[in-house]
Amino acid sequence: EVQLVESGGGLVQPGGSLRLSCAASGFTFSSYSMNWVRQAPGKGLEWVSYISSSSSTIYYADSVKGRFTISRDNAKNSLYLQMNSLRAEDTAVYYCARGSPEVPYFDYWGQGTLVTVSS
């Protein structure tokens, strides 16, 4: 069974940093691309970042470019999101989502971790 478990969320002050993790199990992690998708309270979904299976290709949404860094450790079956210079508008539940290898969509989702940026 595919499982994605996010962790690392919490309360952080504006301008601060936080690192999210996503632990994957139930599939060959190194064969799949991964994504981060977020959802602000009461709002819709927003794609944040993509990383290919080998980390050779990385994409970011304009809203986080230059502040967030996606990475992965295939030996540890883990995905990460380093978030710097956090703003109030980054407050959201952050989901990790597996990318399908054949077509560009998100086939499995974690339960999410809440990040709150507030003083």
Partner 1 sequence: QTVVTQEPSFSVSPGGTVTLTCGLSSGSVSTSYYPSWYQQTPGQAPRTLIYSTNTRSSGVPDRFSGSILGNKAALTITGAQADDESDYYCVLYMGSVWVFGGGTKLTVL
List of residues contacting partner 1 (CB under 8 A):
35, 37, 44-47, 50, 59, 61, 95, 97, 100, 103-112
Taking the least distance from each CB to partner 1, the nearer of 15 and 58 is: 58
Taking the least distance from each CB to partner 1, the nearer of 29 and 60 is: 60
Taking the least distance from each CB to partner 1, the nearer of 31 and 111 is: 111
Provide the 10 A C-beta neighbour count for residue 41. Answer: 9
DSSP string, 68-118: EEEEEETTTTEEEEEE-S--GGG-EEEEEEEEPSSSSSEEEE---EEEEE-
Round to whole Å and give the CA distance between 78 and 36. Answer: 13
Taking the least distance from each CB to partner 1, the nearer of 56 and 119 is: 56
CB of 104 to partner 1, least distance (A): 4
CB of 103 to partner 1, least distance (A): 5
CB of 82 to partner 1, least distance (A): 20
Measure the CA dihedral 89/47/39/13, to 10°: -30
